[in-house]
């Protein structure tokens, strides 16, 4: 890993509101997240196939595995042939397509043995339209808001009995299966107070990690460790399309649009299951700028995400409701991703939340170049990125002369 981190310093050679209250698990402070679309991860599409591949993910430097929902999928009005992961029919069971509950336990146990943690995607705002609750507890659902042809029905959290049942289901996965937390889908579609009480109950079992699929500072007060940084993601996409550049990045750092506390982890990403399926591949979204955008997602404040297949230069939109396995192409970007993970792990300045250093913008004499420094104690990291498709000159303080960065290239400088 040290060799990979050292090579990253020469990465220009790459050719292609208030303080957060939840106590973050200690193991999350320098962690990254790797999202697994289990159905498409392997030809088998099973939990056991993923377990067998955990040593590779360990070598990649993965620390938190985000599993898309593994529960049984509703059959009524299901989308496509295999249905949506998020149309859950039973919160405490496993989709036979993926395996069984003991297979999840085995996955979690093996991940832990390798120093990794597992969080489970949680579709808490809705259930499949044929979930047993629809007949057993119709009062737990919103009325007249779902078309007859829909595969899901929205839950009504004004009913506190639902709170108890949903929290108990989440606790089952933590206590009986061993998962280390949850990624809450559509988190703002559920009352924040529910997530807060659920987090308190789960933390009594063991410290959990909670990731919100949302961009809302209030979610960090008592419930979530991390939330999606949609603002930076939009800027990265615009840069890839030639619609933004270093100026927008400087504005993002200087005047953030929302008041997040320094200890709120912001999930940084160039892709995920929804982006890949609906918007396009990395090549379609970023073209030759992708490497630089991935570097920014790792070095600006936040917890970075890799979507499965990005290390293999995933070149297709993965179908969400059909079988559509990833073609791994011998992992051509594995060394690049591993180097970024090692860079983050080995430099305290890049730690998550308040443990990491704040961004200090650097003047390098060229407004087309985005440059910054982050420092924590004696450790400091400087990052210089060419946000254009043309070669750019820049000069760091102390350099004897100017340096040329090729189009979409970067330089990362860490202490010896």
Please report the pLDDT score of residue 257 as a whole number.
83
Select 33-356's CATH number: 3.90.190.20, 3.30.360.10, 3.20.20.80, 3.40.50.970.
Answer: 3.20.20.80
Annotated domain spans of the chain: 33-356
Q: How far apart are CA 271 and CA 178, in angstroms?
A: 27
DSSP states of 115-171 as a string?
T-EEEEEE--SEEETT-THHHH-GGGB-SS-S-TT-SEEEB-TT-HHHHHHHHHHHH
The arithmetic mean of pLDDT across residues 89-102, rounded, is 98
Give the predicted TM-score (pTM) of the model: 0.94
Calculate mean pLDDT across residues 182-196: 98
Given a cut of 90, whether residue 13 has pLDDT beyond it is no
Give 380-404 pLDDT, tens digit per residue: 999 999 999 999 999 999 889 999 9
Residue 19 has pLDDT above 50, yes or no: no
CB 87 within 8 A of CB 78: yes
For residue range 252-274, list pLDDT tens digits in order: 999 988 899 999 999 999 999 99
Look at residue 17 in the predicted model and tell me its pLDDT.
37
In contact, 177 and 209? CB cutoff 8 Å: no
pLDDT of 11 higher than 90: no
Taking phi over 0 as left and psi of -120 to 50 as alpha, with beta for the rest, 361 belongs to beta
Q: How far, in Å, are 71, 135, 146, 188 from residue 129 at the CA level?
A: 14, 10, 9, 21
What does the pLDDT look like over 324-379, one tens digit per residue? 999 998 999 999 999 999 999 999 999 999 999 999 999 999 999 999 999 999 99
Question: What's the maximum distance between 2 C-alpha atoms anywhere in the chain?
Answer: 75
pLDDT band at 415 (very low <50, low <70, confident <90, very high): confident
pLDDT of 4 over the 90 cut: no
At 146 the pLDDT is 53
Count other C-beta atoms under 10 Å from residue 76's C-beta: 18
């Amino acid at each position: 890993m040290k060799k990979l981190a050292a090579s990253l310093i020469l990465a220009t050679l790459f050719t292609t509101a208030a303080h957060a209250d939840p106590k973050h698990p200690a193991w999350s402070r320098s962690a990254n997240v790797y999202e697994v679309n289990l159905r498409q991860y392997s030809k088998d599409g099973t939990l056991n196939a993923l377990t067998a591949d955990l040593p590779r993910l360990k070598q990649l430097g993965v620390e938190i595995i985000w599993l898309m929902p593994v529960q049984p999928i509703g059959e009524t009005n299901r989308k496509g042939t295999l249905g949506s992961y998020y149309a859950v029919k039973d919160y405490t069971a496993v989709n036979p397509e993926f395996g069984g509950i003991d297979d999840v336990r085995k996955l979690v146990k093996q991940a832990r043995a390798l120093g990794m943690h597992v969080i489970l995607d949680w579709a808490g705002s809705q259930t499949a339209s044929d979930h047993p609750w629809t007949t057993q507890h119709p009062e737990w659902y919103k009325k007249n808001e779902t078309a007859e042809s829909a595969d899901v029905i929205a839950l009504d959290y004004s009913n506190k009995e639902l709170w108890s049942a949903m929290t108990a289901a989440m606790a089952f996965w933590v206590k009986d299966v061993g998962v280390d937390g949850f990624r809450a889908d559509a988190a703002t579609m559920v009352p924040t107070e529910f997530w807060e009480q659920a987090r308190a109950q789960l933390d009594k079992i063991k410290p959990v990690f909670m990731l919100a699929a949302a961009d809302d500072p209030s979610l960090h007060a008592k419930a979530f460790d991390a939330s999606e940084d949609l603002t930076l993601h939009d800027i990265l996409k615009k840069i890839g399309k030639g619609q933004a550049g270093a100026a927008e990045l400087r504005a993002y750092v200087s005047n953030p649009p929302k008041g997040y506390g320094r200890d709120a982890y912001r999930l940084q990403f160039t892709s995920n299951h929804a982006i890949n399926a609906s918007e396009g591949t990395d090549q379609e979204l970023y073209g030759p700028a992708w490497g630089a955008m991935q570097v920014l997602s790792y070095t600006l404040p936040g917890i970075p995400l890799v979507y499965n297949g990005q290390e293999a230069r995933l070149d297709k939109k993965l179908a969400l409701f059909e079988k559509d396995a990833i073609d791994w192409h011998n992992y051509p970007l594995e060394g690049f991703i591993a180097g970024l993970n090692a860079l983050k792990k080995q430099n305290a300045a890049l730690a998550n939340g308040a443990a990491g250093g704040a961004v200090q913008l650097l003047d390098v004499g060229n407004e087309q170049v985005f440059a910054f420094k982050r420092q924590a104690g004696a450790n400091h990291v400087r990052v210089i990125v060419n946000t254009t498709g043309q070669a750019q000159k820049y000069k760091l303080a102390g350099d004897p002369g100017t340096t040329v960065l090729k189009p979409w290239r970067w330089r990362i400088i860490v202490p010896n």
